[in-house]
Amino acid sequence: MKEKGRFGDYGGFYVPEVLIPVLEELEGAFYRFYEDEQFVAELGQLSKEYAGRPSPLYYAKRFSDYVGCRVYLKREDLLHGGAHKVNNTLGQGLLAKYMGKTKLIAETGAGQHGLATAMIGALFGMETKIFMGVTDIERQSVNVHKMKLCGAEVVDVEGGTGTLKDAINDALRYWTAHVRDTFYLFGSTCGPHPYPTIVKHFQICIGKEARRQSLEQIGRLPDMIVACVGGGSNAIGIFSGFVDDKNVRLIGVEAGGRSLSSGRHAATLVAGRVGILHGAKAYLLQDEEGQVYDTESVSAGLDYPSVGPEHCLLKDTGRAEYVAAEDEEVLDAFELLSKTEGILPALESAHALAYMMSQKGKLSSEQVAVVNLSGRGDKDVSIVEKRRPLEQ
Ligand SMILES: *Cc1c(COP(=O)(O)O)cnc(C)c1O
Domain map (residue ranges) of the chain: 6-47+85-195, 52-83+204-387
Residue 260 confidence (pLDDT): 44
CA 50 to CA 87: how far, in whole Å? 10
Neighbours of 246 (CB within 10 A): 8
CATH of domain 52-83+204-387: 3.40.50.1100
Q: What percent of the chain has pLDDT over 70?
A: 96
Q: How far is the CA of 149 from the centre of ligand 1 (A)?
A: 22
Residues 6+ apart with CB under 8 A from 262: 293, 296
> Would you call the peptide bond into 54 cis, given omega within 30 degrees of 0 as the criterion?
yes
For ligand 1, atom 10, the nearest C-alpha belongs to 348
Q: So which residues are the catalytic ones?
A: 85, 107, 374
CB-based contact 277:308 (threshold 8 Å): no
Tell how strand 57-59 and strand 320-325 pair up.
unpaired
Q: Do domains 6-47+85-195 and 52-83+204-387 have the same CATH topology?
A: yes
CB-based contact 217:57 (threshold 8 Å): yes
pLDDT range class, residue 263, cuts 50, 70, 90:
low
Neighbours of 27 (CB within 10 A): 18
CB-based contact 206:234 (threshold 8 Å): yes
CA 336 to CA 334: how far, in whole Å? 6
Tell how strand 70-75 and strand 57-59 pair up.
antiparallel
Give yes or no for residue 278 CB within 6 A of ligand 1: no
pLDDT single digits (tens) 55-80? 999 999 999 999 999 999 999 999 99
CA 229 to CA 215: how far, in whole Å? 25
| Higher-scoring residue by pLDDT: 123, 159 | 123
Residue 237 CA, closest ligand 1 atom number: 9
Strand segments (E) across 185-272: 224-228, 249-255
Give yes or no for residue 234 CB within 6 A of ligand 1: yes
Residue 235 CA, closest ligand 1 atom number: 9
Give yes or no for residue 230 CB within 6 A of ligand 1: yes
CA 72 to CA 366: how far, in whole Å? 13
Give yes or no for residue 89 CB within 6 A of ligand 1: no
Q: 11-15, 52-56, 120-124: which has the minimum mean pLDDT?
A: 11-15
Give yes or no for residue 201 CB within 6 A of ligand 1: no
For ligand 1, atom 13, the nearest C-alpha belongs to 375
Planar angle of CA 91, 93, 96, nearest 5 degrees:
110
Planar angle of CA 330, 235, 115, nearest 5 degrees:
80
CA 224 to CA 371: how far, in whole Å? 8
Residue 293 confidence (pLDDT): 77
Give yes or no for residue 203 CB within 6 A of ligand 1: no
Fold of 6-47+85-195: Rossmann fold (3.40.50)
pLDDT range class, residue 291, cuts 50, 70, 90:
confident
For ligand 1, atom 7, the nearest C-alpha belongs to 233
> Would you call the peptide bond into 194 cis, given omega within 30 degrees of 0 as the criterion?
yes
pLDDT range class, residue 104, cuts 50, 70, 90:
very high
Residue 162 confidence (pLDDT): 87
Q: 139-143, 303-307, 375-379: which has the minimum mean pLDDT?
A: 303-307
Q: How far is the CA of 392 from the centre of ligand 1 (A)?
A: 33
Give yes or no for residue 233 CB within 6 A of ligand 1: yes
Residue 267 confidence (pLDDT): 85
Pocket test of ligand 1: the residue of 186, 206, 269, 302 to mutate, having most ligand atoms within 8 Å of its CB, is: 302
CA 228 to CA 82: how far, in whole Å? 16
Residue 305 confidence (pLDDT): 80
For ligand 1, atom 4, the nearest C-alpha belongs to 230
Pocket test of ligand 1: the residue of 186, 195, 228, 306 to mutate, having most ligand atoms within 8 Å of its CB, is: 228
Give yes or no for residue 83 CB within 6 A of ligand 1: yes
CB-based contact 159:53 (threshold 8 Å): no
CA distances from 48 to 53, 113, 378 (A): 5, 20, 23
